[in-house]
Structure 1
Amino acid sequence: MKHKFSTLFPDTPEQDIRHVYSPYRVCPVGAHIDHQHGPVTGFALDHGVDFLYVPTETGVINLFSTDFEGQVLFPLTAIPPRYQHWGRYVQAAIYTLSKVGEIKYGVQGLICGSMPVGGLSSSSAVLLCYIMALADINDITVDEHQLIELAFIAEKEYIGLSLGKLDQSCEVLARKDHLLYLDTLDDSYRLIPKPDTMPDFDILVFFSGLTRTLVNTGYNTRTDECKVAAYSLLAYEGLPYGSFTDTRLRHVDRAVYNKWKHRLPEPLAKRATHFMTEHERVEQAVEAFSKGDINMLGAIMFASGDSSIQFWESGCPEMIALFQSIKEAPGVYGGRFSGAGFKGCCVALANPDHRQEAIDYVSKAYLEQFPEMEGKYEVWACKTADGVKRIS
């Protein structure tokens, strides 16, 4: 990557190059409930996004990517209208960081992701890298919690996603050999150490070959359906409720849901059912991990994946086939869609001793059904890792 940087910017001394990194993340259990202020779990992966950069005192943004074509080039004094390509993420970083400090100096650099886009929160990782770099060169102090909040605001207000804080929190707070438990109601979290009694495990990432952007899926519609369900359930019970914008399923007691769920239209009832049961699964998953019970954790992951298909109604034929193949593979403890599940990746916890068997089984089963994905479909064996860091 440094060689590529030097080719793009040959006049930059190597000792002046700065380097920030953000990992990708997976969520073992806690699918689609962070935006409803539910609890979630996460691991950071030992793969992620690297950003090599140097400041530009002229205030110019000059960026290249190893993953996308083209160049992003503009002065801070004349930021273009919002791009509809990869350049919009540095625009989003400027937008959010400007809320806490003055951005006088620009950046020229090269950004590189080590895995495909789709399901691993690569957009959040990119944003975190840009925010860290711009804060660094403009002497803006940002702590971990501010970094999470700024990346969250960038993705919600500028990119346009109705999401929660799982992605940013996991990529910032996670630690190697720990499970992150995050309560998005109040942003409290715990890092649960992997017990010595728990066997080693791989995090296998199966990339379907389908790329996606959440802005163009039903993702935002489903989050709105959750709010409508919450608003309705509170109203049926005669409980006070605030504005629709601020209403979440976390505000609804399980007993109220059980009493009134029959009144909800089917799509709303499904979204509420997924939230209530996934909330329970998160607590069960934390208990299983704390005890070192990898088999129980895996079973809970599979149940989460089934609920995402049945009640959240995410997935597509390719992703559902990939998930079903993972459920049948030897040496796999558990798995589910990674991310929204409309395209992108599936993730699995697996026994390293059966790594190749699992990969071979899933790959054969999936490609037999979708031979057109040959050459696009990929698999990675990952481990847990620490969160974001400044490398140099």
Structure 2
Amino acid sequence: MTTYSREEQLVNRLETAFVEGFGYSPSHLIQAPGRVNLIGEHTDYNDGFVLPCAIDYQTMVAASRRDDQCVRVMALDYQGEINTFDLSQPLVFDKDCLWVNYIRGVIDCLQSRGCKLGGIDIAVSGNVPQGAGLSSSAALEVVIGQTFNAMFDLSLTQQEIALIGQQAENQFVGCNCGIMDQLISAEGEAGHALLIDCRSLETKAVSLPPELSVVIINSNKKRGLVGSEYNTRRQQCEAAAQAFGVKALRDVDITRFQAQAEQLDEVVARRAKHIITESARTLRAAEALEQGDLATLGQLMADSHQSMRDDFEITVPEIDTLVDIVKAAIGERGGVRMTGGGFGGCVVALVPAELVDAVQRAVEAQYENATGLQASIYVCQPMAGAGVLKSVLLQQDVLNAQ
């Protein structure tokens, strides 16, 4: 019996659906990965540092160009629903088909930049768990940008594709997200995390020890308040930066914070403390990871979680319980913390491969008894960012060149 990888299963599913839905074979297969942030939470919109990695769960597109201005998009993850629109007409937000707005938004941003596009048939599907905080929306935006870039020879850089994805989510979809999710999906490197300076967008690949697994555990706690509380946290951070007279909290170090914290509202001060210490922790964590210093890395991840719990106040009891269970299973041989926007969602753990089974057993034995919920566990490896998997046109060009 043939065993297919996650990627192969997705490829087979997409190619079959494309042929059945559109009546011919796709010319291109293109992918963009989801991501998990190892450390650096809510620092992105404060111009700070983050340390995410792309994970081997992907959003994938099968596509072929058309000879008109029509775009047909088939969403396999929404019962094969097809949304059709005309590029010669203004693209507007579709209130009746919410998923297509991420795609329309990217195309709208490309056209507003003067990119010359044409009609296209697209089938899209993914195995990035939706609603878990692993950035399925950014993967969708990036894979669409990557698709048009490849098929219409737009010569966009990976960073430009990421910025277009962020612009689409900010301005078309209406979510005021930072750049991290799109940038790691576009620029990820296999076997590495990416230290991102969210002000300059400079990146540095940070090697993960090959014996480490990235374990993501979804608490399956329904994420409440995340939208309204996200905006509140952002406003509090902006208020703190204004009080310090700086562009963003990136520009305040811990010494200055401690000297002037009493001048801030008490809640605003705690929010600022998290951001200032979290950016510093992220830089130190990148160094520890490069050096294979798992004890230091584990302590930094623990400090990050405590800061999110006590100063930024974005964890929930279910998440705290998961962190405690995993920490007890790995000791000082790795790290664990909440990841994502907060108020539910996932924890991320960096775990030696030989301890992965012990972590899974501990979660299965203890978490449901403590919370009444069952966790979902994903064991991942850092993978490369978005790119073309298959191009019939490129293959034909190679044959012609020979």
- 1:38 Cα deviation (Å)? 0.4
- The CA distance in 1 between the partners of 2:368 and 2:228, in whole Å, is 24
Paired residue for 2:356? 355
The answer to whether 1:26 aligns with 2:49 is: no
Paired residue for 1:119? 133
Paired residue for 2:152? 138
Paired residue for 1:88? 101
The answer to whether 1:249 aligns with 2:224 is: no
Summarize the Cα distance change of 1:106–1:365 in structure 2 as closer, same or farther, 3 Å threshold. farther
Native 8 Å contact 2:237 2:271 kept in 1? yes
Native 8 Å contact 2:226 2:343 kept in 1? no
- The CA distance in 2 between the partners of 1:52 and 1:160, in whole Å, is 27
> Which amino acid is 2:285 matched to?
A
- 1:347 Cα deviation (Å)? 1.1
- The CA distance in 1 between the partners of 2:92 and 2:169, in whole Å, is 18
Native 8 Å contact 1:55 1:105 kept in 2? yes
Q: 1:188 aligns with which of 197, 202, 208?
A: 202
Summarize the Cα distance change of 1:215–1:19 in structure 2 as closer, same or farther, 3 Å threshold. farther
Paired residue for 1:370? 371
State the secondary structure of the residue aligned to 2:78: coil
Summarize the Cα distance change of 1:164–1:217 in structure 2 as closer, same or farther, 3 Å threshold. same
- The CA distance in 2 between the partners of 1:200 and 1:126, in whole Å, is 30
> Which amino acid is 1:81 matched to?
F
- 1:368 Cα deviation (Å)? 1.4
> Which amino acid is 1:269 matched to?
A
> Which amino acid is 1:335 matched to?
V
Paired residue for 1:282? 282
The answer to whether 1:306 aligns with 2:320 is: no
Counterparts in 2 of 1:212-223, with a 5 A limit? 212=223, 216-223=227-234
- 1:253 Cα deviation (Å)? 4.2
State the secondary structure of the residue aligned to 1:347: strand
Counterparts in 2 of 1:324-335, with a 5 A limit? 324-330=324-330, 333-335=334-336
Paired residue for 2:240? 229
- The CA distance in 2 between the partners of 1:296 and 1:287, in whole Å, is 10
- The CA distance in 2 between the partners of 1:54 and 1:215, in whole Å, is 38
- 1:103 Cα deviation (Å)? 4.7
- 1:60 Cα deviation (Å)? 2.4
Summarize the Cα distance change of 1:87–1:391 in structure 2 as closer, same or farther, 3 Å threshold. same
Native 8 Å contact 1:319 1:341 kept in 2? no
Summarize the Cα distance change of 1:215–1:57 in structure 2 as closer, same or farther, 3 Å threshold. farther
- 1:85 Cα deviation (Å)? 2.0
- The CA distance in 2 between the partners of 1:65 and 1:360, in whole Å, is 36
Residues 202-254 of structure 1, C-alpha deviations (whole Å, 9 max, x = no match): 111112224559873411221121011110122xxxxxx6xxxxx31113344
- 1:81 Cα deviation (Å)? 3.0
- The CA distance in 2 between the partners of 1:99 and 1:382, in whole Å, is 37
> Percent same amino acid at aligned positions?
25
Summarize the Cα distance change of 1:74–1:214 in structure 2 as closer, same or farther, 3 Å threshold. farther
- The CA distance in 1 between the partners of 2:336 and 2:102, in whole Å, is 30
State the secondary structure of the residue aligned to 1:329: helix
Paired residue for 1:317? 317
Question: What TM-score comes out, normalization by structure 2 length?
Answer: 0.85
- 1:274 Cα deviation (Å)? 0.3
- 1:192 Cα deviation (Å)? 2.7
Residues 259-300 of structure 1, C-alpha deviations (whole Å, 9 max, x = no match): 211121122111100011112211211221121112221221
- The CA distance in 2 between the partners of 1:95 and 1:6, in whole Å, is 29
- 1:189 Cα deviation (Å)? 1.8
Question: What TM-score comes out, normalization by structure 1 length?
Answer: 0.87
- 1:155 Cα deviation (Å)? 2.0
- 1:191 Cα deviation (Å)? 1.4
> Which amino acid is 1:318 matched to?
E
Native 8 Å contact 2:146 2:387 kept in 1? no
Paired residue for 1:388? 386
- 1:322 Cα deviation (Å)? 2.4
State the secondary structure of the residue aligned to 2:165: helix
Residues 313-368 of structure 1, C-alpha deviations (whole Å, 9 max, x = no match): 11233333323322223466111222112232211111211211111111222211
> Which amino acid is 1:341 matched to?
G
Summarize the Cα distance change of 1:149–1:38 in structure 2 as closer, same or farther, 3 Å threshold. same
- The CA distance in 2 between the partners of 1:214 and 1:153, in whole Å, is 24
Paired residues in the alignment total 374
The runs of 5 or more residues in structure 2 that have no matched partner are 1-9, 391-402
Paired residue for 1:71? 82
- The CA distance in 2 between the partners of 1:214 and 1:111, in whole Å, is 29
- The CA distance in 1 between the partners of 2:28 and 2:198, in whole Å, is 33
The runs of 5 or more residues in structure 1 that have no matched partner are 235-240, 242-246
Paired residue for 2:7? none
- The CA distance in 2 between the partners of 1:132 and 1:214, in whole Å, is 32
Summarize the Cα distance change of 1:164–1:321 in structure 2 as closer, same or farther, 3 Å threshold. same
